[in-house]
Amino acid sequence: MGALVLVLFLSVGFAQAQDMRKIALRSASALVQDAETGEIVFGKNAEAVVPIASITKLMTAMVILDAGLDLEEKLVLSREDAVGMKGSRSRLRTGLSMTRGDLLLLALMSSENRAAAALGQSYPGGLEAFVDAMNTKAAVLEMNESRFVEPTGLSPANVSTAADLAKLVRAAHEYPLIREYSTKDRATIRASGRPLAYGNTNGLVRSKYWDIELSKTGYISEAGRCLVMHVRLAEKDLIVVLLDSWGKHSRIGDANRIRKWLESGAAIGRSS
């Protein structure tokens, strides 16, 4: 029944789908899209330009990997990495030595802001060149309503739309390392010989009810709780984008509401 309902939703137009089933979400902007066909299964304020917090780190990862930089190279964290951290806490201290690959893992899995900042600083030409590369990549992906000013997502000037972020997720899914790192449950890395244990910021990667192929969370006060995923659900590859969700657990609640809605076909309230 669940697969049949999903096939029906993916086979009819968006307006028809809205007429047939409504769902109430706490996210201000949302999009569910068939990753293969681009068909919109559900949309809510998908064209609104909003801050995207640490969803930014998917773009950071793509720019690093596109540059072909050595992931085994050891980088020493500098004071410059902490500039613009906006009071964000980090267990990574100035002077620690880590591989670029471990920094990438922490940025994607645990949304470690200083790790993402260090990746940007280590880019050939420095942070300014890195930000230019981020915006160039966005243009290539036709993310026309998106703008990046730094690699962590701590700045509310990093903005996009749910529709643009679906393009970002689709592109990031093409990178095996991003898929692996962003869905890894937990990992212990070594920084200057010290073991540091980290976990994934998206608890759904540990759920038996979800088959998640790519994940990224985000939060700053200006952006609210954010979540993007590339998931396998009811034998379909779907892109899920949830932005500016209010309440600590509301983005996870919205994701579960979407899953149950698609699997059961039951209307769960009304969207706007």
Q: Which of 179, 189, 216 is nearest to 201 (CA)?
A: 216
**Contact yes or no for 251/229 (Cβ under 8 A):** no
Dist. CA 163–CA 69, nearest whole Å: 30
Q: 27, 29, 110, 111: which is the annotated catalytic residue?
A: 111
Q: 44, 57, 137, 216: which is the annotated catalytic residue?
A: 57
Dist. CA 103–CA 241, nearest whole Å: 25
Is 271 an active-site residue? Answer: no
Dist. CA 84–CA 87, nearest whole Å: 8
Is 11 an active-site residue? Answer: no
**Contact yes or no for 109/198 (Cβ under 8 A):** yes
Structure tokens at 235: 């034998």
3-state DSSP call for residue 5?
helix
Q: 27, 54, 110, 250: which is the annotated catalytic residue?
A: 54
**Contact yes or no for 49/159 (Cβ under 8 A):** yes
Is 122 an active-site residue? Answer: no
Active site residues: 54, 57, 111
